[in-house]
């Protein structure tokens, strides 16, 4: 296969080979001679008459018998993209490019070289990636055309922030191999503190040894390096460093992020986190980051993912709604449906259960644990919503939520405090807001997975007076 930026020069036999591989995987059959002729002719811009003139077939047979069946088969084999003869080459170029990027990305590891770009760190392996084309294209445009230098990907656990960031880096590098001198992928959960993260970045950048220097000085070294060289820096799972809420820590985070964004003429920093970065820093600071909240997969991409997991049919739409298109949750529930229900989604629904994956549990443990990400009022709001929604899933009006929290729970709080904490919960995708334009009111609800976690309280973190044994946080999926 030729380089991704020279795909227009690809040999027609390689095109046919690629198409046949996709068809073989999808149908188990190879292309016929007539189908190969149509593919070659369409790639060259020929109509059916020209193709027939250069072959042993007549125009009617190619146009009416072979063509329609071929385009339908290719539409299915190429992932549901509607293929027509008029734009066959355009669609196929995109698919070949996608295939090339995935193939090259699968080989990436520390010290890999793509063109003149050096890779450092443990780059995630993407075996499959569904959807999010619009989001990827938008962020690529922000980086390439609008020179966006700092991006934060925010989203609930399991929503796909790491894989999305990896896919974004892949496409940027393989589409623009000379854009950066090097790419650094840093996993923040391998660091115990912001100081360790900074020291390890200094080591990767191979700048002066400065462990005995002040934290601010070491941060300035990184900032200077990013201003001199073209670097794409990814810091993944930054929320793992946020266990301390001391003012000293907040000031360190603030200094770090401000310096990352300062005078980065050629570099770009991407940070993934379950928690918005502004919650880590001093509240008065507006960080110069583009915030991008990652939501669940759209219906089409989620259906494709479930299809790859061996599930299909209208019942899949219900699964997507229940699990809000969260890729890790859909993967977990698909595995349980195959394992316990023989792949029968209807049978699974008969038992009215909700699967909570170990990854999602770990995220919620971190929220609810002592000294976790949730303050007392935020916990009270979530517990209240879970109990109210237990029997009736109708979203709760904001006015009722306020009255109940203040009166039933005896909380002496201002409405402003409640609104501020609901805003935080919504930013973290822990509560969902619905607007009713007819009644002119705002309502709140929980996604089923979060509601179930709160109600079953697997580690006794919700009800602090509970006598439940403290189970290991490495819990298996809860059914």
Q: What is the pLDDT of residues 216-235, one digit of tens each?
A: 888 888 888 888 889 999 99
Percent of the chain exceeding pLDDT 90 equals: 37
Work out the average pLDDT over 81-85.
82
pLDDT at 76 over 60: yes
Q: Supply the mean pLDDT for the chain.
A: 83
pLDDT at 342 over 70: yes
- CATH, domain 359-456, list 3.20.20.110, 2.60.40.1220, 3.30.479.30, 1.10.10.10: 1.10.10.10
Sheet containing strand 182-187, strands side by side: 113-114, 117-120, 182-187, 231-236, 268-273, 150-154, 290-293
35 Cβ partners below 8 Å, 6+ apart?
66, 70
pLDDT at 301 over 60: yes
- Report strand pairing: 432-436 vs 441-445: antiparallel
Q: Residue 330's pLDDT is what?
A: 94
- CB-based contact 155:335 (threshold 8 Å): no
- The terminus-to-terminus CA distance of the chain in angstroms comes to 45
Q: Residue 125's pLDDT is what?
A: 80
Grouping H, G, I as helix, E, B as strand and the rest as coil, residue 321 is helix
176 versus 419: the higher-pLDDT residue is 419
Percent of the chain exceeding pLDDT 70 equals: 85
pLDDT at 391 over 50: yes
Grouping H, G, I as helix, E, B as strand and the rest as coil, residue 155 is coil
- CB-based contact 370:430 (threshold 8 Å): no
Can you give the pTM of this predicted structure? 0.77
Q: Which of 241-245, 434-438, 446-450 has the lowest mean pLDDT?
A: 241-245
Q: Residue 444's pLDDT is what?
A: 96
Q: Residue 341's pLDDT is what?
A: 93
Sheet containing strand 441-445, strands side by side: 396-397, 441-445, 432-436
Query: What band does 9 get if pLDDT is binned at 50, 70 and 90?
Result: low
Q: Residue 109's pLDDT is what?
A: 60
Q: Count Cβ atoms below 10 Å from residue 465 Cβ, excluding itself.
A: 5
Q: Count Cβ atoms below 10 Å from residue 183 Cβ, excluding itself.
A: 25
pLDDT at 473 over 50: no
Grouping H, G, I as helix, E, B as strand and the rest as coil, residue 441 is strand
Query: What band does 105 get if pLDDT is binned at 50, 70 and 90?
Result: low
Q: Which of 103-112, 136-145, 167-176, 199-208 has the lowest mean pLDDT?
A: 103-112
What's the DSSP call for residue 179?
Answer: S
pLDDT at 325 over 50: yes
24 versus 4: the higher-pLDDT residue is 24
Work out the average pLDDT over 206-225.
82
Grouping H, G, I as helix, E, B as strand and the rest as coil, residue 327 is helix
Q: Residue 29's pLDDT is what?
A: 84
Q: For tokens 């007539």, name the residue.
A: 34
Q: Residue 457's pLDDT is what?
A: 84
Alpha-carbon distance of 260 to 232, in angstroms, equals: 12
The domains of the chain are located at 4-102, 108-293, 299-355, 359-456
Coarse DSSP helix, strand, coil percentages of the chain, rounded to the nearest 5 percent? 55, 10, 40
Q: Residue 177's pLDDT is what?
A: 77
Alpha-carbon distance of 74 to 81, in angstroms, equals: 8
Alpha-carbon distance of 310 to 288, in angstroms, equals: 43
Tokens standing for 39? 């593919």
pLDDT digits (tens, 9 = 90+) for 363-384: 999 899 888 889 889 999 999 9
Alpha-carbon distance of 339 to 285, in angstroms, equals: 49
- CB-based contact 149:264 (threshold 8 Å): yes
Is the dihedral angle over the CA atoms 410, 413, 415, 421 positive or is it negative?
negative
Grouping H, G, I as helix, E, B as strand and the rest as coil, residue 347 is helix
Alpha-carbon distance of 429 to 209, in angstroms, equals: 41
pLDDT at 467 over 60: no
pLDDT at 124 over 60: yes
pLDDT digits (tens, 9 = 90+) for 240-297: 876 545 556 667 777 888 887 776 778 899 999 988 877 766 544 566 688 899 999 9
Alpha-carbon distance of 373 to 21, in angstroms, equals: 48
Work out the average pLDDT over 448-465.
84
- CATH, domain 108-293, list 1.10.10.10, 3.30.360.10, 3.40.50.300, 3.90.79.10: 3.40.50.300
Alpha-carbon distance of 125 to 130, in angstroms, equals: 14
The helix (run of H) or strand (run of E) holding residue 349 is helix 345-350
CA distances, 310 to each of 116, 313, 338, 344, 455 (Å)? 40, 10, 8, 10, 31
């Amino acid at each position: 296969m030729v380089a991704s930026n020279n795909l227009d020069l690809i040999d027609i036999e390689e095109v046919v080979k690629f198409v046949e591989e996709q068809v073989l995987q999808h149908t188990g059959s190879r292309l016929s001679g007539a189908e190969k002729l149509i593919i070659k002719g369409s790639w060259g811009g020929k109509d059916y008459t020209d193709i027939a003139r250069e072959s042993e077939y007549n125009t009617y047979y190619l146009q009416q018998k072979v063509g329609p069946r071929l385009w339908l088969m290719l539409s299915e084999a190429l992932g549901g993209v509607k293929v027509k003869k008029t734009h066959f080459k355009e669609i196929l170029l995109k698919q070949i490019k996608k295939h090339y990027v995935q193939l090259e990305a699968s080989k990436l590891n520390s010290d890999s070289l793509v063109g003149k770009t050096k890779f450092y760190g443990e780059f995630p392996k993407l075996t499959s990636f569904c959807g999010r084309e619009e989001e990827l294209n938008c962020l690529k445009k922000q980086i390439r055309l609008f020179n966006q230098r700092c991006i934060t990907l925010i989203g609930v656990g399991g929503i796909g922030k790491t894989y999305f960031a990896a896919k974004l880096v892949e496409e940027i590098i393989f589409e623009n191999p000379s854009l950066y001198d090097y790419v650094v992928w840093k996993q923040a959960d391998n660091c115990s503190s912001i100081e360790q993260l900074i020291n390890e970045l200094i080591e990767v950048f191979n700048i002066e040894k400065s462990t005995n220097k002040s934290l601010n000085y070491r941060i300035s070294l990184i900032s200077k390096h990013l201003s001199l060289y073209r670097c794409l820096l990814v810091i993944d799972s930054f929320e793992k460093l946020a266990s301390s809420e001391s003012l000293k820590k907040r000031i360190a985070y603030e200094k770090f992020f401000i310096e990352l964004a300062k005078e980065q003429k050629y570099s770009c920093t991407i940070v993934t986190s379950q928690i918005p970065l502004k919650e880590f820093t001093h509240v008065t600071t507006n960080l110069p980051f583009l915030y991008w909240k990652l939501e669940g997969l759209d219906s089409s991409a989620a259906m494709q993912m479930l299809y790859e997991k061996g599930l299909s049919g209208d019942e899949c739409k219900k699964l997507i709604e229940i699990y809000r298109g969260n890729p890790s949750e859909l993967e977990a529930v698909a595995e349980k449906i195959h394992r316990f229900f023989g792949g029968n989604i209807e049978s699974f629904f008969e038992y009215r259960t909700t699967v909570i994956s170990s990854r999602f549990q770990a995220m919620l443990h971190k929220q609810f644990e002592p000294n976790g990400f949730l303050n007392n009022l935020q916990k009270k709001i979530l517990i209240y919503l879970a109990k109210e929604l237990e029997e009736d899933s109708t979203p709760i009006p904001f006015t009722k939520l306020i009255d109940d929290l203040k009166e039933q729970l005896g909380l002496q709080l201002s409405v402003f405090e409640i609104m501020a904490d609901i805003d935080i919960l919504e930013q973290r995708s822990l509560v969902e807001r619905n607007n009713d334009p007819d009644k002119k009111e705002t309502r709140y609800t929980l996604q089923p997975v979060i509601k179930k976690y709160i109600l079953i309280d697997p580690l006794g973190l919700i009800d602090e007076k509970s006598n439940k044994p403290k189970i290991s946080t490495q819990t298996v999926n809860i059914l």
